[in-house]
Amino acid sequence: MSPTYQSTSRTVKAGGLALHHHVAGPADAPVVIMLHGGGPGASGWSNFGANLPHFAGRFRTLLVDLPCYGRSDKPEPDCDYFTFSARAVVALMDELGIDSAHFIGNSLGGGTAVRIALDHPDRVSKLLLMGPGGISLNLFSADPTEGIKRLFEFSLAPEPTRTAMRTFLTTLVHDPAVVTDALVEERYAQAIDPEARLGNARMAAAFTKWPEDTLLWREAHRITQPVLLTWGREDRVNPVDGAFLALKTIPDARLHVFPRCGHWAQTEAAAEFNRLATDFFLHP
């Protein structure tokens, strides 16, 4: 039976926070922890729910709602967000008895995964990053990027609209047909929830308060684990030129670029992404 939202949903207290996550797959299999991207209405399930059946057939797979997102607590961070969320994920691993895991980190979740690898290297086996935040540095593309501008427009609007949500989601993909009416409605309903808006505001405030600590590319040379950088060639949030500094400085890094693909490789190139990640995690 394919894993469903309800059958895989769990919440545990870890590090003083209630952390919601989904778990599926054999208990004795290697562990893969997936960390979602940011943006209105984001969660572990919204980012990776469609990929879970594939990974759960091979790994004990966790989709985590990062602090301030989904059904996890939405506290006010006391440090930069990457460090704060990294501590929360490590606390969750402690609570679940997970010594180490492979990580998949998309965008915001990529920055969290990198911070875990830097601060808790023994907890990370291999690292797959998808258009990650923090570790990328745009060499040619303008900042802020189109996707970040649309994100700000939605998040800062006094009354966010479905049209603004569709505009933002469309910047995440190469093929606009991926952004269906159902997807817009699902993400919009989650995003306008008062608790979700509070979480988003607190996450954003942490980036504003500790901006220097989010520049993870300055520490990329310290990452010792095997790293697979993955990017959509048409990424309009974190453009592909942002990959090159990380590729150059991380000692054991390789790069895979998906053609005709935006920021959501796990969706637009799902079969190739699933195969690539599985091969990377299972083979030396």
Q: Give the residue numbers annotated as catalytic, written as ranges.
A: 263
Tell me which H or E stretch contains 275: helix 270-282
Long-range contacts of 16-19 (CB under 8 A, 24+ apart): 16/91, 17/67, 17/72, 17/73, 17/75, 17/88, 17/91, 18/72, 18/73, 19/64, 19/65, 19/67, 19/72, 19/73, 19/88, 19/91, 19/92
CB 112 within 8 A of CB 66: yes
Name 248's Cβ contacts closer than 8 Å, sequence gap at least 6.
Answer: none
* Residue (of 227, 144, 182, 231) closest to 46 by Cα position: 182
